[in-house]
Structure 1
């Protein structure tokens, strides 16, 4: 008995004591930061109305224990389009109108900088595009945006076509969580976008995939360096990814003589980029931005595709209309014997409206974080320097003033363009998503192959939502898939 107690005591001391120490340290740091923020501020204008919640933790528990519709909507109903709260250790101003979103993201964006927890910057890399504001961000964004423009992504259609077909073929006859399948698909398309056709296995594609998913799994975990924790594993995977990417860059420089024979994929653009002084990006900066692009593209597109499949399943008449539109394209291409063309993807207007309404309903990016770089006045209220500012995309997308009966799936909303700043699935302004054209193209191509060659049904209930961290149907929306060719056998 004594030895058992001794063993338990050792386990307790080796794990729980360091964990408790980390928690206490974090709380102390937050208290010190909170004290620093309590410097006198001009009292000319009142702070926004609202509650700051409990000391230190604020309303963080309420945010993560409720559906975001409930958390944000109740505060908007109680306080109006601007209110204060305290989340993740920081005072915040929540803004829930199109005018406010435009104020923060466009007209007065110079007063608000992007902000992310330091633990997340370490995992992605501090030089990643979306952590920055100013000239570095402006110049690098132009480069990324050019490599992901419609003109650039159209050359990827055959590769996206092949990747979508391969995903569906491996799914045929099985039940798989849609979200997991779409994460793999989005990763493969991200690799094609960044490295083109040149990223072969001997350069570490399989190893990169394995380590990236370890990093992805630990991204939203509690940040500590205790060996064996998700965050610790993610940090180790990040180091290995950096090594793989350095080898890829070295290979391309040495073997291919400065990329002269390469198409303009994102890697070649990053390697050729020079600033006004002629300085190039370091290997570390290139790695950070590659990982940043992979991360930004993967979960959001995978979540969006998962919701599209759910809404198509839940609305059989819309599914039949989408199928009719896609079958017309399919027949023009000789029953699928020829690949899709760019012009055909631009003609899928009904399918495009389904995607837009899915993005509105799901509101995968519920809000974004900015930080006030100075005291800011908005509609008679003062937002102090250092406060986090949260434009609430979900509230805007679900506001009946802009979208009547907002919880109804209605693709006719997009027969005409929505009112300015009321539809923001990819953000707005200088930090809007530069890859939105690629994301929509990927969804259009996948839907084309899904409805023309396969049948599917959702397995189990699809009414519950989970967050990983973006909202997806519970359990990743398990779906049974079977090809039209062997439809009767697939149902058995």
Structure 2
């Protein structure tokens, strides 16, 4: 008994001394470098509610004005350091990227899946990134132009005469293009219906507060995520039984092998498919919604874009022939409109990284395990880099922006591999929209909602109508 007590006493002394040692070491580290200033908000909740209910420009700008270009906060259950300068973004995403692993809050990782490309670094990440980049490279996108054009035309025709929320229409378009990229054009309708039904539930819960009470959006999303995995497994099994190699993303994932000849398992494939769907949908849909609003609000610019696109339409016998990749690359003014929309909207306000060790930056300590968030939005709206940043001015992109000041798709090895696909989708949409249709936006012209991607109020309600037949006739006569 006495010996047991002595051993326990010695063990407790060892634990206590180790703890005090670690605390002294931590204090010495914090004495040398202090954690950045800022507010951690309420316990557990932090400042999450403010971030997702306010204008993100105001949320970050007020804190930046108060604390400087590096400050702390607490969102989505995580302590975070916010960095609001081009140099800091480059430090985290490029020059010292090895010190910051890609990560999301645990609640979001659980929705997409831990094997998704953008949660990893190292050999697994490089293998998958190379695969996805190859599929979405310009050479590969050439062949997708007719299929994307078909989806765009179908969506616009379904909108004619109806009052619809632009954002919802753009979500549908982006989802269908994402499905095309992942599964090709031969996915069975029953699978597509089940995918969309469960994906929408997961999507709704993705940005909800992560509580596990039955009946709330997050819990429903967890359940739908399991069903979604089941649908994807069924599609994979049917593909394998057919034994035919497909050149879509699913086919590439199924066929992929690592250096030792190992294939990806179903969990890895499913997580990456869901990750691509998430990456392909909301950001693209948000930007396209803003493109429609910006063009609607700038009549002279709209006419210039229409003139550029009408000239292309004329070379295609007024739309009787499909667009080509070369034609999309010739849309110089339209491309500048997209770039300026990406800057103005900045629908991705920041990206998440996690410090893998204690990191010193400009005299401050970024503790190991803290999330690090380079702020794209504030950089894009900084008058030091963009003259009169609140003005919509595509001509500013006649000259390339300064390095690390325009980051709509991120930077470094984790930059979005689908950026060319997103721009292609937007170019094809704008071509058909401005040459064949006219639209008017309805109500709440200047109001914005944040959920969490900021879009015009109520998703920009709009009514679409076909351009008058006389327009095409006049164009033909003038030619």
Q: What TM-score comes out, normalization by structure 1 length?
A: 0.88
Q: Deviations over 1:241-278 (max 9, x none)?
A: 211111111111112x241xx3x211111011111111
Are 2:443 and 1:460 aligned?
Answer: yes
Please state whether the residue corresponding to 2:32 is helix, strand or coil. Answer: coil
2:324 & 2:53 partners in 1: Cα distance?
45
Match of residue 83 from structure 2: 95
Structure 2 spans left out of the alignment, 5+ residues:
1-21, 472-479
Match of residue 166 from structure 1: 154
Pick from 106, 116, 120 the counterpart of residue 104 of structure 2: 116
Distance 1:385 1:225, change over 3 A: closer
Query: Is the CA contact (8 Å cut-off) linking 2:53 and 2:451 kept in structure 1?
Result: no
Q: What TM-score comes out, normalization by structure 2 length?
A: 0.90
2:53 & 2:423 partners in 1: Cα distance?
31
Distance 1:39 1:240, change over 3 A: farther
Please state whether the residue corresponding to 1:472 is helix, strand or coil. Answer: strand
Pick from 401, 410, 431 the counterpart of residue 384 of structure 2: 401
1:76 & 1:222 partners in 2: Cα distance?
26
Pick from 344, 350, 360 the counterpart of residue 327 of structure 2: 344
Please state whether the residue corresponding to 1:176 is helix, strand or coil. Answer: strand
Query: Is the CA contact (8 Å cut-off) linking 1:455 and 1:487 kept in structure 2?
Result: no
Pick from 220, 238, 254 the counterpart of residue 233 of structure 1: 220
Please state whether the residue corresponding to 1:197 is helix, strand or coil. Answer: coil
1:125 & 1:258 partners in 2: Cα distance?
27
Alignment of 1:396-435 (within 5 A): 396-435=379-418
Please state whether the residue corresponding to 1:84 is helix, strand or coil. Answer: strand
1:207 & 1:373 partners in 2: Cα distance?
39
> Which shifted more, 216-225 or 324-333?
216-225
Offset at residue 171 of structure 1 (A): 0.4
Distance 1:82 1:205, change over 3 A: same
Please state whether the residue corresponding to 2:184 is helix, strand or coil. Answer: helix
Are 2:144 and 1:156 aligned?
Answer: yes
Please state whether the residue corresponding to 2:129 is helix, strand or coil. Answer: helix
Offset at residue 151 of structure 1 (A): 1.0
Are 2:363 and 1:380 aligned?
Answer: yes
1:239 & 1:283 partners in 2: Cα distance?
13
Query: Is the CA contact (8 Å cut-off) linking 1:85 and 1:93 kept in structure 2?
Result: yes
Query: Is the CA contact (8 Å cut-off) linking 1:369 and 1:390 kept in structure 2?
Result: yes
1:316 & 1:116 partners in 2: Cα distance?
40
Please state whether the residue corresponding to 1:93 is helix, strand or coil. Answer: strand
Q: Deviations over 1:399-420 (max 9, x none)?
A: 0000011001011110011111
Are 2:237 and 1:250 aligned?
Answer: yes
Query: Is the CA contact (8 Å cut-off) linking 2:55 and 2:450 kept in structure 1?
Result: no
Match of residue 219 from structure 1: 206
Distance 1:234 1:327, change over 3 A: same
1:97 & 1:241 partners in 2: Cα distance?
39
Alignment of 1:467-486 (within 5 A): 467-485=450-468
1:66 & 1:119 partners in 2: Cα distance?
21
Q: Deviations over 1:152-206 (max 9, x none)?
A: 112110011000000010000111000000111111100110111221225x111
Offset at residue 119 of structure 1 (A): 2.3
Offset at residue 39 of structure 1 (A): 8.1
Structure 1 spans left out of the alignment, 5+ residues:
1-35
Offset at residue 378 of structure 1 (A): 1.1
Pick from 288, 293, 299 the counterpart of residue 276 of structure 2: 293
> Which shifted more, 130-139 or 302-311?
130-139
Are 2:43 and 1:62 aligned?
Answer: no
Distance 1:161 1:315, change over 3 A: same
Distance 1:234 1:88, change over 3 A: closer
Distance 1:111 1:387, change over 3 A: same
Query: Is the CA contact (8 Å cut-off) linking 1:212 and 1:241 kept in structure 2?
Result: yes
Alignment of 1:231-380 (within 5 A): 231-255=218-242, 257-259=243-245, 262=246, 264-380=247-363
2:463 & 2:365 partners in 1: Cα distance?
53
Query: Is the CA contact (8 Å cut-off) linking 1:345 and 1:444 kept in structure 2?
Result: yes
Size of the aligned set, in residue pairs, is 448
Pick from 173, 188, 192 the counterpart of residue 185 of structure 1: 173
Match of residue 421 from structure 2: 438
Query: Is the CA contact (8 Å cut-off) linking 2:46 and 2:75 kept in structure 1?
Result: yes
1:211 & 1:37 partners in 2: Cα distance?
47
Distance 1:90 1:252, change over 3 A: closer
1:487 & 1:88 partners in 2: Cα distance?
55
